[in-house]
Amino acid sequence: MATASSYSLVGCHKLTHNLNYHYHFISNPDPTRSNHDDKKTQHQGMAAESRPAPNGGPWTRRARQADEWLAQHKVVASATTASLVSTFAGFPLDSLKSRLQSSRENLSLVRLAAEVVKEEGVGGLWRGFPLPLITISIVRTISFTIYTSTKRMINSIPGQPSELKESPWLDIRLGILNRDRASDVAITSALAGAASGAVVCVGSAPFELVKVRRQLEYQIYRDMHPEPPGALATRHAPFVPPTTLQAVRTIINRAGPMGLYTGWRLHFVRDTSGTALYFAEYDVMRYWLGRKSKGKGREGEAGEQGEVPEWARSWLPPQIIPFLCGSVAGVSSWALIYPVDAIKTKAQQRALSGLEPRTPLVQFMRLVRGPDKDNPKPLLRGIARLYRGLGVSMLRSMLTHGLLWTIVDWAGGWIETRPFERLVAGTEP
């Protein structure tokens, strides 16, 4: 019995060994490879595909393609989303700013807003809004793209492989100003901002002129149709505001296609200097408040928000840093270039009204010292007039630029989480 049992056990072991051998040969015909190697290879393959991919079906592939496209166009997607929201929120304040700059009366913001609503309805605050919504969003998206690409060209080290999925338009790598210090950050951002403002100005000037035309059309109408004396004052036909297309046609009919570039030189000075200041201030403030650097050769891309410095840790939550830096940069840079914008708006209004043009210096002196050379206004009073509308403009800048950078940071972080794959996987938080 014992011997028979022993032979039976031996036979079972041999049968099991043969079955294992045949299974191993079928599953692994290469005798030089072991099952351990196969399992290792399988594990590596699973790790390479370790994305949320239920069943690996067509929806997963499409979601993966969408996430990869968003990652490659992160700057465009983030800037466009942020521009749409911030432009809509800040447009009424921008409209009131233009009216205050061109008004002959000393009106408060609240009184002016009340008069606009009374005469034109609530829609008057968004008069001419559709065109700026499209154009400002396009302009800001292009501006961000040029800005990030220029920083990348300045900072990138020649010959170093790029970790970024977005390549600059030109494969230029200067490898300068890439040290981890505030001065390099400021100079790089100022140069990139100036380049962005100069390029964007060429395309945005006609659209801004049309925006000013729509916002100031009541004032322009009064300039072109001064009130006649006494009994003739009621003979004017009621004013019918033109559409955006009619405003464009009117400008072209009077001055030709180049009429769309009325006031372009002042626009160029304002945008180039203002954008340089704006981006430099924002990036330096983010640097001081703990934003991580990509290191040497960081290719101009900003890192994630790091630990807030000790001096600000007790009162500054990291979540509001983008809004704070965007607001401060927008307000301070705009305050410095505001006189240029006021002169530009006044020059464009006179040109659109058919009045005799004035040089920027003459217009500046009239705004500061008044039209009567023999009886000039006090200097401080004139400067106050030059900055008329600055309060509402600063409020608009705080709102729009704070929202802009907050949404840019949020959208960029959201894109990096591969949202469509998470949605398909059912793990969307």
What pLDDT is attached to residue 235? 54
- Bridge partners of 305, per DSSP, are 291
For the residues 9-26, what does the mean pLDDT come to?
Answer: 42
For the residues 263-283, what does the mean pLDDT come to?
Answer: 94
- Per-residue pLDDT tens over the stretch 54-106: 456 788 888 889 999 998 888 889 999 999 999 888 888 888 877 876 676 77
Q: In Å, what is the CA distance from 2 to each residue of 5, 6, 7, 13, 15?
A: 5, 6, 9, 16, 20
Contact by Cβ (8 Å): 396, 97: yes
Q: Which of 15-24, 133-142, 339-348 has the lowest mean pLDDT?
A: 15-24
Q: In Å, what is the CA distance from 152 to each residue of 70, 143, 164, 271?
A: 19, 14, 10, 21
The confidence band for 228, taking pLDDT boundaries of 50, 70 and 90, is: low
What pLDDT is attached to residue 291? 84
Give the CA radius of gyration of the chain: 32
- Per-residue pLDDT tens over the stretch 163-188: 444 444 567 788 888 888 899 999 99
Is residue 107 predicted with pLDDT exceeding 80?
Answer: no
- Per-residue pLDDT tens over the stretch 23-39: 343 344 444 444 444 44
Kindly give, in sequence order, each residue whose CB lies less than 8 Å from that of residue 241, ignoring residues fewer than 6 positions away.
127, 214, 217, 218
Q: Which of 77-91, 252-266, 377-391 has the lowest mean pLDDT?
A: 377-391
Contact by Cβ (8 Å): 378, 403: no
Is residue 230 predicted with pLDDT exceeding 60?
Answer: no
The confidence band for 49, taking pLDDT boundaries of 50, 70 and 90, is: very low
Is residue 1 predicted with pLDDT exceeding 70?
Answer: no
26/166 Cα distance (integer angstroms): 47
User: What share of the chain in percent tops pLDDT 70?
Assistant: 76
Is residue 223 predicted with pLDDT exceeding 60?
Answer: yes
Kindly give, in sequence order, each residue whose CB lies less than 8 Å from that of residue 358, ignoring residues fewer than 6 positions away.
347, 350, 366
What pLDDT is attached to residue 404? 93
**Backbone torsion region of residue 121, taken as left when φ is above 0, otherwise alpha when ψ lies between -120 and 50, otherwise beta:** left
The confidence band for 293, taking pLDDT boundaries of 50, 70 and 90, is: low
For the residues 325-342, what does the mean pLDDT come to?
Answer: 92
Is residue 219 predicted with pLDDT exceeding 50?
Answer: yes
Is residue 111 predicted with pLDDT exceeding 50?
Answer: yes
For the residues 126-132, what does the mean pLDDT come to?
Answer: 78
280 HSE (CA, 13 A, CB side): 21
What is the amino acid identity at position 340? V
101/338 Cα distance (integer angstroms): 10
252/193 Cα distance (integer angstroms): 31
Three-state SS annotation for 58-127: HHHHHHHHHHHHHHHCHHHHHHHHHHHHHHHHHHHHHHHHHHHHHCCCCCCHHHHHHHHHHHHCHHHHHC
Q: Which of 276-280, 360-364, 405-409 has the lowest mean pLDDT?
A: 360-364
| 3-state SS class at 6 | helix
Q: What are the start-end ranges of the H helices in 264-320?
A: 264-288, 310-313
277/332 Cα distance (integer angstroms): 9
User: What share of the chain in percent tops pLDDT 90?
Assistant: 26
Ordered domains of the chain (ranges, CATH): 75-224+239-307+315-424 (1.50.40.10)
For the residues 240-269, what does the mean pLDDT come to?
Answer: 89
What rounded mean pLDDT belongs to the chain?
78
124/129 Cα distance (integer angstroms): 10
291/284 Cα distance (integer angstroms): 10
Does pTM surpass 0.75? no
- Kindly report the number of other CB atoms within 10 A of residue 113's CB atom: 20
What pLDDT is attached to residue 276? 97
Is residue 45 predicted with pLDDT exceeding 50?
Answer: no
What pLDDT is attached to residue 170? 63
Burial of 139 (C-beta count, 10 Å sphere; 0-12/13-18/19+): buried
Is residue 346 predicted with pLDDT exceeding 70?
Answer: yes
What pLDDT is attached to residue 56? 61
**In terms of pLDDT, which residue wins out, 151 or 55?**
151
φ, ψ of residue 242 to 5 degrees: the values are -75, 160
**In terms of pLDDT, which residue wins out, 72 or 46?**
72
What pLDDT is attached to residue 402? 94
Contact by Cβ (8 Å): 242, 251: no
φ, ψ of residue 305 to 5 degrees: the values are -70, 125
